[in-house]
Amino acid sequence: MGIKAILGGTFNPPHTGHINAALAAADVLNIHRVYLMPCKLPPHKAVSVSEAHRVAMIELCCQENNRLHPELIELSLPAPSYTVKTLRAMRQQSQDTICFFIGADSLYNLDKWYEWEQLLDYCHLVVMRRDGETFSPPNAVKLWLEKHKAHDISVINARKNGAVLLIDTPLYSISSTEIRNAMTQTSATDITTSSDWVPGSVLNYIKEHQLYKS
């Protein structure tokens, strides 16, 4: 049994913005491995690439960095997918302590998540704040934070769940949406080699399969 850091997302495509932020947060918590967990996308959401392509790109990221590992559990669970259900399934499969990583923007919308107040029954929530970011969650989340916020990172070793940790991480001002839009308008090489937003093997995969082309 150990501590398992989970970073969820669409990973469409995976990029160094959220991956490097998660690795930086893991460093603060003295966690070596970070698991990339692609979410199952709802049928009403337009997706330009298949689930298989998203998984392949995640696996390429993991091959480039031995700290990264794929976690595909949500893709195997019945729909509809909700984070609390995924965490519950993970807890049933393993007794590892789960640290679930989210960005501050997700925290601001946490009270809209399905059964959000039960998340801490299964994990510690690690909120990746950007350096210098003004922190202003809605009132319901703010009151919940006051109750559960931990001031000592050793809490993740002392108990399996129940705490929220706020971790400052470097600012990476890029999103998957911006990358997709840029790749639609220009060559993948132009957008990524200059900014290093997408790992090289992922960039090659995108070019080979002509993903995100209009």
Long-range contacts from 147-152, C-beta under 8 angstroms, 24+ separation: 148/120, 150/124
Closest of 188, 91, 89, 171 to residue 132, by C-alpha: 171
Q: How far apart are CA 63 and CA 57, in angstroms?
A: 10
Per-residue model confidence (pLDDT) at position 137: 86
For the whole model, what pTM was predicted? 0.91
What are the start-end ranges of the E strands in the chain? Answer: 3-9, 34-38, 68-70, 97-103, 124-130, 164-169
pLDDT tens-digit map of 31-90: 999 999 999 876 556 667 899 999 999 999 999 999 999 999 999 999 888 999 999 999
pLDDT tens-digit map of 81-140: 899 999 999 999 999 999 999 998 899 999 999 999 999 999 999 999 876 667 788 899
Q: What is the CA radius of gyration of the chain?
A: 17
Per-residue model confidence (pLDDT) at position 186: 60
Per-residue model confidence (pLDDT) at position 194: 37
Q: How far apart are CA 168 and CA 24, in angstroms?
A: 9
Residue 161 amino acid letter: N
Per-residue model confidence (pLDDT) at position 121: 98
pLDDT over threshold 80, residue 211:
yes
Provide the 10 A C-beta neighbour count for residue 66.
9
Per-residue model confidence (pLDDT) at position 195: 47
> Domains along the chain?
3-201 (3.40.50.620)
Helix (H, G, I), strand (E, B) or coil at 100: strand
pLDDT tens-digit map of 161-210: 999 999 998 867 677 777 877 777 765 555 544 347 888 899 889 889 98
Structure tokens at 47: 């997706």
pLDDT over threshold 60, residue 159:
yes
